[in-house]
Amino acid sequence: MMIRRFAKSEDGAAMVEMTIVSTLLFALTLGFVDFGYAFYQWNAATKAVQIGARLASISDPVATNLTTAGPTTTPGAPVVAGAYGPFACSYSGTIGACTNSGTFDATNFSRIFRGDTAVTNDDACPAITGSQRPGMCHFFPGLRRDNVVITYTATGLGFQTRLGGPVPTITVSLQNRTFQFFFLQGLMGFANINMPSMLSTVTGEDLKTSAPS
């Protein structure tokens, strides 16, 4: 009799159901928060590469030999596509380098990464003061130097013996960057979702630090 009564009893059923439902609801809510933050990171990365490309187009090139890389045998003739480079400049750890024997300039890279703030030999992003221009790191907090690739490519712009060197096409992109999750990383193992390679491409302008923004 007691066993039959126990089998038919529904005492505590609501609590069990609420436990199951609240667990799913909790995971869903945290998922919305995390994916909203991932969307913010996506937008921040997009803005960072746009700012980086703009700064790169009006700053001294990171690949310093770019200014003398173009042909000069026929003054006034076009600099054809592929005439030099491309020079893809990036950090690996604390060492900066450019492909195709390009000469890497850490100060010029810092100006794109940090804007007009102080140059440091790490991933620091100093606060902006006064009329200083912000850099990529100010638009994407947590960005590291080794996430950034700055590429100078000959795409048929400019002419030989042009004052200031050839006119490159500049692409700023991100690499080796994963989305940061707070809750889902521990609950569901969302720890290594790579961010797509964000990039922005512009035409080089004055390629000197004093150029207006």
Q: What is the pLDDT along the chain (213 residues), one digit of tens a residue?
A: 556 655 555 555 666 667 777 777 777 777 788 888 889 999 999 999 999 999 999 999 999 999 899 999 999 999 999 999 899 999 998 999 999 999 999 999 999 999 999 988 899 999 999 999 999 999 999 999 999 999 999 998 889 988 888 899 999 999 999 888 877 776 666 677 888 888 999 998 766 665 555
Q: What is the model's pLDDT at position 1?
A: 57
For residue 210, being part of any structural domain is answered with no
Q: What is the model's pLDDT at position 12?
A: 58
Range of the domain at 193: 2-203
For residue 158, being part of any structural domain is answered with yes
For residue 116, being part of any structural domain is answered with yes
The rounded Cα 129 to chain-centroid distance in angstroms is 23
For residue 208, being part of any structural domain is answered with no
Q: What is the model's pLDDT at position 10?
A: 57
Q: At what angle do helices 13-57 and 106-114 cross, to 10 degrees?
A: 130
Answer yes or no: are the C-beta atoms of 87 and 212 closer than 8 Å. no
How many domains is the chain built from?
1
β-bridge mates for residue 174, sequence order: 148
Distance between terminal CA atoms of the chain? 87
| Cα–Cα distance for residue pair 182/20, rounded to 1 Å | 22
For residue 211, being part of any structural domain is answered with no
Say whether pTM exceeds 0.75.
yes
For residue 114, being part of any structural domain is answered with yes
Q: In whole angstroms, how far apart are CA 140 and each of 44, 116, 191?
A: 5, 16, 19
For residue 142, being part of any structural domain is answered with yes
For residue 60, being part of any structural domain is answered with yes
Q: What is the model's pLDDT at position 111?
A: 95
